[in-house]
Amino acid sequence: MNEKQPDLSIKLGPLKLKNPVLAASGTFGYGKEFSHFVDLNLLGGIIVKGISLKPMAGNPPPRIVETPCGMLNAIGLANVGLDIFLKEKLPWLQKLKTAVIVNIYGHSIDEYGAVAAGLKGVEGISAIEVNISCPNVEKGGMAFGTDPQVSARVTELVLKNSDKPVIVKLSPNVTDIKAVAAAVEKAGAHAISLINTLTGMAIDIDERIPKLANVSGGLSGPAIRPVALFMVYHVVRTVQIPVIGIGGIMDYRDTLEFLIAGAQAIQVGTANFINKKATLDIIEGLGSFCKDQDIERIEEIIGTLKTAKS
């Protein structure tokens, strides 16, 4: 066969990726966990488990519960901390020939700056993704990402302390996600990813207790996909910087919905738990779809939604 393979590569601001499929933070460990099933070098990129300045043990169990077409998690941002990440996890990641994006978070604005500074000058990191959905200790536990001004301040400080492209991951638990998106764009973010999980809960009716020890958790999986898609649709119409779509993507068809809505790339999260090769299956499916539709470059699809409103 001399049929030309479709070009799946995409640009994400200053980043060029092999394809638009990234593994989402918190669902893919530090990459190595999945290397038994997935040739990581075939992925557009991987986003490692969120890193904080100090190690975090996380919440007491139960931390997860299944809900209709989804799951709630309250892991509590358990991670090895910046120092151990750099010493023990990163050397293995540095050998990969795919984009390695480090997700970071802090308990205060300064902590975000400190983690970003700790990654400055480190080889083998393609970009930083900033999780602004976690509670702000200085503001009584209200998430940073619920306030456009605070979101902008976090973004500015990370940019100031970093030499890498900065992606800001938005929380959907807000009144107007467009306002937060606009604020972080103005602050200088190179790209935006959305959505993080939606806050929810589940109750054990026999014991009359919450099913999660933390009471509430983050809802993910196909249950949230329509919500995520609509938020992506809005945000790509609000900002000029590239948008990465996240939320319940299970296969290439789900992926195409986000690309057509205008996302430059997508992240696969919960699907990794059920199908270890979900990311690869999506890449393969996108290739076949492009071939079938005589599309030479996947970028031709992005933002091609036709609506009476647009």
Partner 1 sequence: MMEQDTEILFNMKVTTDTFVMGLRAPEIVAEARPGQFVMIQTRAGIDPLLRRPFSICGINGDDEFLVLYRVVGRGSAIMSRARKGDVLSVLGPLGRGFDLPQKGQKTLLVAGGIGIAPLIFFAQTNKNTDLVFMAGYSSVSEVVPKEQVGLGNMKVLIATDDGTTGHRGPVTELLESHLAGPCDNTPTVFTCGPLPMLKCIASLTLERGIPCQVSLESAMACGMGACQGCVAKSSSMKSQAYYHVCKDGPVFDVKALDWKNL
Q: Which sequence positions are flagged as catalytic?
A: 134
How far is it, in rounded angstroms, from Cα 64 to Cα 72?
Answer: 6
Give the DSSP H/E element, type plus range, for residue 85.
none
CB of 46 to partner 1, least distance (A): 11
Closest to partner 1 by CB, 161 vs 267, is 267
Which CB atom, from 28 or from 112, has the smaller least distance to partner 1? 28
**Between 75 and 182, whose beta carbon lies closer to partner 1?**
75
Name the residue nearer to partner 1 (CB basis): 71 or 198: 71
Asked whether 80 and 88 are in contact (CB, 8 A), the reply is: yes
Minimum separation from the CB atom of position 50 to partner 1 (A): 11
| Residues binding partner 1 (CB under 8 A) | 26-29, 33-34, 36-37, 57-58, 60-66, 68-71, 73, 75, 78, 221-222, 250, 270, 272-277
Report the nearest approach of partner 1 to the CB of residue 65 (Å): 7
Angstrom distances, CA of residue 194 to CA of 69, 139, 255: 19, 23, 14
Paired sense of beta strands 15-17 and 64-67, if any: unpaired
Q: Which is nearer to partner 1, 192 or 278 (CB)?
A: 278
Non-local CB neighbours of 59 within 8 Å, separated by 6+ positions: 74, 75, 76, 78, 213, 214
For the bound state, the minimum distance from the C-beta of residue 192 to partner 1, rounded and expressed in Å, comes to 25
Shortest Cβ 63–partner 1 spacing (Å): 5
The strand ranges marked E within the chain are 10-12, 15-17, 21-23, 45-51, 64-67, 70-73, 99-104, 127-131, 135-136, 142-143, 166-169, 191-194, 198-201, 203-204, 209-210, 216-220, 243-246, 265-268
Long-range contacts of 180-185 (CB under 8 A, 24+ apart): 180/145, 180/146, 180/148, 180/151, 181/235, 181/238, 181/239, 182/148, 182/238, 182/239, 183/148, 183/149, 183/151, 183/152, 183/155, 184/151, 184/152, 184/155, 185/239, 185/240, 185/241
Q: How far is the CB of 283 from partner 1 (least distance, A)?
A: 17
Closer residue to partner 1 (CB): 85 or 148: 85
